[in-house]
Amino acid sequence: MPADDDEEEVLPGNVGGAVRVGATVHRPTGPWTPAVHALLEHIASRVPHVPRVHGFDDEGREVLDFLPGQVVDVNIEALSAARLVALVDWTRRFHDAVADFIHPGPWRFFDVPDATSVGHNDLGYYNICFDGDDLAGVFDWDLAGPTTPLFELAFLAWNGVPLWRDDGPDVAAARLHLIADTYGGPTAREILMAVAPRIQLMLVGIPAHAARGDTGMANLMAAGEPGRSRATLDGLVTRMPLIDRALG
Ligand SMILES: Nc1ncnc2c1ncn2[C@@H]1O[C@H](COP(=O)(O)OP(=O)(O)O)[C@@H](O)[C@H]1O
Ligand SMILES: [Mg+2]
């Protein structure tokens, strides 16, 4: 906790991180920031638990609401079924609210062939906070941009089942069904099949964007990406036939 409202508390992240100043966070910006702010303004009155934009500070950083809540580290603690449902419910509301939102960008996210609508694109446990079983905040909107709802759900499943770890095919299948049933769109099998192409996009995109000068992507590479995700995706691919069978 900051000692007073002007004191900065560093909130570490793998890309650019953030600092908390009182009830706000200040974050680095990029060419994608105008598009992200337009998106956040579009959903401000339509979707709950989203930070409001409060302009820029003297250093040119964006200023957003700090959203209090508990960030769950799934390396330490499982994301409960109730929390997974809350996240998927929120995702459905968000997708419904952006069905008519179009912006020319530039966006930071990797090019998705046949994109149909804008997504958050980084719905990992590290960008979400909870209040008990309820969702309390979704932050880190820098990767938002054109994608498909299926790719959004595939990445949510990768992190939220999770599929990058072997918790056994029955657990994976049950949680994939929970995601599909809660969202009410693609089937559990369709979501599973979309995970490899969605992660592949990132394996190619991170080094490509780092080479183009995106320092946040270079920070991800210094933190072991995309090598770590490539290795965990290889593991998932070997387990997929078992998970597929367990889906019934
Ligand atoms: N608006 C916010 N409200 C509350 N916490 C936040 C907010 N933005 C970031 N954080 C916290 O700071 C951490 C790092 O910020 P994030 O924006 O995710 O950085 P990075 O882009 O490096 O991942 C997050 O994991 C979260 O714990
Ligand atoms: Mg983050």
What is the predicted pLDDT for the residue at 5? 64
Range of the domain at 210: 81-246
What is the predicted pLDDT for the residue at 14? 86
**Atom of ligand 1 minimally distant from the CA of 219:** 22
211 and 110: one domain?
yes
For residue 134, is it within any domain? yes
For residue 75, is it within any domain? no
Q: Encode pLDDT of 99-129 as tens digits.
A: 999 999 999 999 999 999 999 999 999 999 9
**Atom of ligand 1 minimally distant from the CA of 142:** 21
Q: Encode pLDDT of 159-210 as tens digits.
A: 999 999 999 999 999 999 999 999 999 999 999 999 999 999 999 999 999 9
93 and 14: one domain?
no
206 and 234: one domain?
yes
Measured in angstroms, how far is the CA atom of residue 123 from the centroid of ligand 2? 9
Residue 224 has pLDDT above 80, yes or no: yes
Report the number of distinct structural domains present in the chain: 2
Distance CA 240, CA 191 (A): 12
pLDDT bin (cut points 50, 70, 90) of residue 6 is: confident
For residue 1, is it within any domain? no
56 and 164: one domain?
no
172 and 56: one domain?
no
The larger pLDDT score, comparing residue 78 to residue 174, is at: 174
For residue 72, is it within any domain? no
Measured in angstroms, how far is the CA atom of residue 242 from the centroid of ligand 2? 31
As for ligand 1, residues whose beta carbon falls within 6 Å of it are 11, 13-18, 25, 27, 51, 64-67, 71, 126-127, 137, 139-140, 142
**Atom of ligand 1 minimally distant from the CA of 66:** 3
